[in-house]
Amino acid sequence: MLLCLVSSLVALSRLLMEIESFYLEKLIVCPELARNDFYITGESYAGHYIPAFAARVHRGNKAEDGIHINLKGFAIGNGLTDPAIQYKAYPDYALDMGLIKKTDYSLINKLVPVCEFAIKLCGTDGTISCMASYFVCNTIFASIIARAGGINYYDIRKKCEGSLCYDFSNMETFLNKKSVRDALGVGNIEFISCSPTMYQAMLVDWMRNLEVGIPALLEDGVKLLVYAGEYDLICNWLGNSRWVHAMQWSGQKEFVASPEVPFVVDGSEAGVLKTHGPLGFLKVHDAGHMVPMDQPKAALEMLKRWTKGSLAEGGKAEKLFAEM
């Protein structure tokens, strides 16, 4: 058991090395790609390794360490980034969405201070105490699920069916095709939707705060977009909004004070957007944990506008028209 814990202490750093190695190999094979703008995106637990990978790339560029990667921005969808803030938001979100009663809220909220203390012991480095904080803090989530009656915690409008609440068999079949594996350069490694081995390896890193490396990226003009479907419980929009607003950087006050504008796609409001400088937060309507699956058109439009630097333009125009 101790060996497993010790080995998992380096899980995140090892993962970053693997991601970086994968991308650099692609640049060696296709050096013309190095001239392209580079954006990093991911969802869910990627709220941990996306900012960590972005920080690693940025440090390497500044130190002129190896191939320069033209990093322009990174995006996190319904991610877990700052657990102390996000776990505290669970009872509030559950009450607001009618998943628990007021009496339940009072009881569950009493677990929050214990969770916060456990996370402080965990810190930002990832230690064995982080494993303890994982089990302590997840009593909050488990208490909500026990009272919510079999909901899909990735989309509270649905019931949870199967071990992962979704059927990912088609995705597994596609990604395990030889032609796809060859295109990705992964050899004969089998893809599975959720690996127990990987899950266990990540537990020690789970409660780490990965927000700490983001401000330096923002200060150097690297863009960050945090987006979240409104019906996701496990990495809900409320917790994500709170850590984004609480993040300390030179533009924090301006971001907090900036107005919310509608994110408009094909003439309809697809979300609510808030931006300032390189930072943006988008609450996506009618979506759960996996925004691209639930709202593919809005998700595509979001990424297209964001990479072009025009994320807020549609909403501002719509708001101006409404006020005239």
Q: Taking a C-beta distance cutoff of 8 angstroms, is the pair 283, 230 a contact? A: yes
In whole angstroms, what is the distance from residue 209 CA to residue 256 CA?
21
User: Is residue 232 among the annotated active site residues?
Assistant: yes
Query: Of these residues, 155, 205, 232, 294, which one is catalytic?
Result: 232
With helix as H, strand as E and coil as C, how does the chain read?
Answer: CHHHHHHHCCHHHHHHHHHHHHHHHHHHHCHHHHHCCEEEEEECCHHHHHHHHHHHHHHHHHCCCCCCCCEEEEEEECCCCCHHHHHHHHHHHHHHCCCCCHHHHHHHHCCHHHHHHHHHHHCCCCCHHHHHHHHHHHHHHHHHHHHHCCEECCEEEEECCCCCCCCCHHHHHHHCCHHHHHHHCCCCCCCCCCCHHHHHHHHHHCCCCCHHHHHHHHHCCCEEEEEEECCCCCCCHHHHHHHHHHCCCCCHHHHHHCCCEEEEECCEEEEEEEEECCEEEEEECCCCCCHHHHCHHHHHHHHHHHHHCCCCHHHHHHHHHHHC
**Which of residues 141 and 52 earns the better pLDDT score?**
141
User: Is residue 96 among the annotated active site residues?
Assistant: no
Query: Of these residues, 44, 129, 276, 286, which one is catalytic?
Result: 44
Domain 7-81+209-310 matching CATH 3.40.47.10: the answer reads no
Angle ∠(270,271,274) on CA atoms, nearest 5: 145
pLDDT of 81 > 50? The answer is yes
pLDDT of 141 > 80? The answer is yes
Model pLDDT, residue 319: 45
pTM: 0.88
| Residue boundaries of the structural domains of the chain | 7-81+209-310, 83-207
pLDDT per residue as tens digits for the range 151-165: 999 999 999 988 889
pLDDT tier at 34 (50, 70, 90 boundaries)?
confident
**Any idea which of 8-22, 34-48, 171-185 has the lowest mean pLDDT?**
8-22
pLDDT per residue as tens digits for the range 248-279: 999 999 999 999 999 999 999 999 999 999 99
- Name the residue among 298, 237, 263 with its Cα closest to residue 245: 237
Beta bridge partners of 279: 224, 276
Model pLDDT, residue 100: 98
Query: Of these residues, 8, 133, 289, 294, which one is catalytic?
Result: 289
User: Is residue 289 among the annotated active site residues?
Assistant: yes
